[in-house]
């Protein structure tokens, strides 16, 4: 079911949550900064896993919060534009604004429109794209000559995982990534 929330309301809620977390953290640091326990707590707090922002998802479209960099906003926007298009093998490779997309064609389209590619890549091409390992915001999962999908702040954008011939979509369910290599851009 699609939420009827206005995207601006979603962004406002995200901003309030981020402000609330910042205020809580500031009060905690101020309250404990003068004591030995406060200093020890400060070290413990910052030794934990880094904060990973998430996207807001209404079941069909994703929305990037204000804390995310402009490139992430662009990637989400362009993915939303082709979300729900049908699947077609080779789609998105000969024509950038195609009527249907395959896995690498959809990822190529999104990254090209965001200014991160100069032309379409196949899954084999994506195996050499960027750098090895997961990114902070965007991670590409590549199985050369087979499949490619991406996760943006943990939300998967993929052409598989649903019905047959279902094209690019945001998917809230995780995917088994065994056999996939992870790639990322330095800035993301």
More confident site: 170 or 17: 170
Of the two residues 173 and 26, the one the predictor is more confident about is 173
Neighbours of 125 (CB within 10 A): 16
Domain range summary for the chain, segments of one domain joined by + = 7-47, 56-184
pLDDT band at 51 (very low <50, low <70, confident <90, very high): low
What is the pLDDT confidence band of residue 50, given thresholds at 50, 70 and 90? low
Q: Which CATH class is domain 56-184?
A: alpha beta
- 182 pLDDT exceeds 70? yes
Q: Three-state DSSP class for 149?
A: strand
pLDDT score of 6 more than 70: no
The pLDDT, as a whole number, for residue 52 is 64
Residue, of 30 and 62, whose pLDDT is higher: 62
State the sign of the Cα–Cα–Cα–Cα dihedral 145, 126, 152, 177.
positive
Q: Which residues contact 174 (CB under 8 A, 6 or more apart)?
A: 156
Q: Is the pLDDT of residue 10 over 50?
A: no
Determine the pLDDT at residue 95.
85
Per residue in 139-164, is it b (16+ CB within 10 Å) or e — as a string?
bbbbbeeebbbbbbbebbbbbbeeee
Mean pLDDT value across residues 150-166: 87
Would you state the pLDDT for residue 4?
A: 47
- Read off the pLDDT of each residue in 17-39 and give the average, rounded to a whole number: 44
Q: What are the tens digits of pLDDT across the range 101-156?
A: 999 999 999 999 999 999 999 999 999 999 999 999 999 999 999 999 999 999 99
State pLDDT tens for residues 62-109: 999 999 999 999 999 999 999 999 999 999 998 878 999 999 999 999
Looking at the predicted structure, is the pLDDT value of residue 1 above 70? Answer: no
């Amino acid at each position: 079911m699609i939420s009827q929330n206005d995207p601006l309301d979603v962004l406002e809620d995200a901003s309030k949550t981020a402000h609330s977390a910042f205020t809580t953290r500031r009060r905690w640091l101020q309250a404990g900064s003068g004591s030995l326990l406060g200093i020890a707590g400060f070290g413990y707090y910052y030794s934990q896993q880094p904060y990973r922002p998430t996207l807001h998802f209404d079941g069909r479209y994703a929305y990037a919060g204000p804390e995310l960099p402009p490139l992430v906003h662009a990637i989400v926007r362009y993915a939303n534009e082709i979300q729900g298009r049908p699947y077609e093998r080779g789609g998105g490779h000969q024509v950038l604004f195609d009527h249907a997309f395959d896995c690498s064609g959809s990822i190529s389209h999104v990254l090209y429109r965001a200014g991160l590619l100069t032309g379409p890549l196949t899954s084999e091409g994506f195996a050499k794209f960027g750098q090895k390992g997961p990114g902070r915001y965007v991670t590409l999962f590549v199985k050369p000559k087979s499949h490619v999908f991406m996760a943006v702040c943990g939300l998967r954008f993929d052409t598989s995982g649903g019905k047959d011939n279902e094209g690019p979509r945001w998917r809230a369910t995780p995917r088994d990534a065994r056999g996939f290599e992870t790639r990322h851009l330095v800035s993301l």
